[in-house]
Amino acid sequence: MKPKVLFVYRTRRQPVLDNWLKGKEPDTKLFGLNHLQTLGYQVDFFDTAYSIFNPLHWLAYPLEHAILGQVGMGFKLDQALTLLPRLNHYDVIVGTGDSAGLPLVWLKSLGLLKKPLMHMSSALSGALRAQPRSWVVSFYRKVFRAVDLVTAYAEVEREYFIRTLKVPPKKVVFMPYGIDFRFWARRKKVKRSVVVAAGIDLTRDYGTFFKAIKDLDIKVEIACHPDNLKGLTVPKNVRVKFLIDYLTMRRMLQRALVVVVPLREAHRSAGQMVALEAAAAGAPLVVSRVRGMTEAFDLKHERELLYAPPEDSLAMSRAIQRLLKDRRLARVMAKAAGSFVRRHYTTKHLAQNVAECIERVL
């Protein structure tokens, strides 16, 4: 009999599940839950904890605010405490992100959580690396002694858990990210006519991207957060879209002659989702050569995509122009990338990896 598993998310996931069933949203934010259920696992989640009206929200707020102020990473202790009466009724607990999972790690270290805990980390190493002298680093080094397994989306993150947080190597597993290939691969007959860049995390380097495309005779569209553009002057050939929905994002990728993922080296996973989604949508890729990308996927330069050195606008511009001018090369690389992602980096593959980790901690 398959074990009972509880997934703990940062925000409500029932709307995500409902929208996925309606074809309005990819299943990426479920982190494989739906596919694990197909594999025979009993996997539950609860949305009851995610409200500012939860009295524990205000009780836990001082600690979360203190940690957030130090490293910019949430600590949803109110959610963890609300779920605590349920946690020990499951065989395995899976924290699906840092702000949701870190309080579970703490509860585990205190002995209040008695079941095996799998923590899926995505950005913690980058946040802590940026503040190496913070008390938060020492705090997490202590509490992570209790975790049963940590997964990381890039080898550079795995290294940090082992070297800095002193988690035993056997307890830290590299697990590649996965996307909802079917959602992003659904295509309508639209003309590819723009260069596209997208992403809202602060590892995005739109300054370098703007320098790379400002003198090109091509329309450019970017999808991002207003904070990504603070202090930047948007070139005249760029149209900006803020906080768009998934269907709009899919149409952007389907219209892209080239998708660019401009990144700074942040020593963490970065740009992975957009790169995989663009490949599924059949768009040629130019990506900054940062460890969070190159050590996460076996996507090769000049086979599935073109890499450019980070913060090198000239190299990025040359890569973009190369794909714009050589459309045959662009089509060949886009087809190769899409095929590779479909065979290796989908949410079904992610679920299989999560299942292996669940069995490992039992």
Q: In this structure, what CATH number is given to the domain that contains residue 205?
A: 3.40.50.2000
| Per-residue pLDDT at 53 exceeds 90 | no
Which one, of 352, 356, 361, 357, lies nearest residue 39 by Cα?
352
Query: What pLDDT is stored for residue 54 in this prediction?
Result: 78
Give yes or no: residues 48 and 170 share one domain: yes
Residues 279 and 303: beta-carbon distance below 8 Å: no
Cα separation, 75 vs 215, in Å, equals 44
Give yes or no: residues 185 and 138 share one domain: no
Give yes or no: residues 238 and 134 share one domain: no
Give yes or no: residues 93 and 242 share one domain: no
* Strand segments (E) across 171-224: 172-174, 194-198, 219-224
Give yes or no: residues 338 and 352 share one domain: no
Cα-based distances in Å from 59 to 54, 77, 79, 83, 98: 9, 9, 11, 15, 20
pLDDT single digits (tens) 191-229: 899 999 999 998 999 999 999 999 999 999 999 999 999
Dihedral angle over CA of 297, 212, 239, 307, nearest 10: -10
Give yes or no: residues 286 and 356 share one domain: no
Give yes or no: residues 174 and 186 share one domain: no
State the residue range of the domain holding 246.
Answer: 181-344
Higher pLDDT, residue 72 or 274: 274
Cα separation, 235 vs 211, in Å, equals 9
For 78-101, letters b (16+ CB in 10 Å) and e give bbbbbbbeebeebbbbbbbbbbbb
Q: How many CB atoms lie within 10 A of CB 247?
A: 14
Residues 32 and 350: beta-carbon distance below 8 Å: yes
3-state secondary structure of 150: strand
Q: How many CB atoms lie within 10 A of CB 164?
A: 15
Give yes or no: residues 169 and 220 share one domain: no
Give yes or no: residues 144 and 10 share one domain: yes
Give yes or no: residues 129 and 217 share one domain: no
Over range 114-142, report the average pLDDT. Answer: 94
Q: The tokens of 143 are what?
A: 């509490």
Q: What is the mean pLDDT of the chain?
A: 94
CA angle at 272 for the pair 267 and 278, rounded to the nearest 5°: 150
pLDDT single digits (tens) 140-196: 999 999 999 999 999 999 999 999 999 999 999 999 999 999 999 987 778 899 999
Query: What pLDDT is stored for residue 345 in this prediction?
Result: 97
- Please provide residue 47's backbone torsions phi and psi, each rounded to the nearest 5 degrees: -100, 5
* Number of domains making up the chain: 2
Residues 259 and 198: beta-carbon distance below 8 Å: yes
Give yes or no: residues 161 and 185 share one domain: no
For 85, the enclosing helix (H) or strand (E) is helix 77-87
Give yes or no: residues 246 and 259 share one domain: yes
Query: What pLDDT is stored for residue 148 in this prediction?
Result: 97
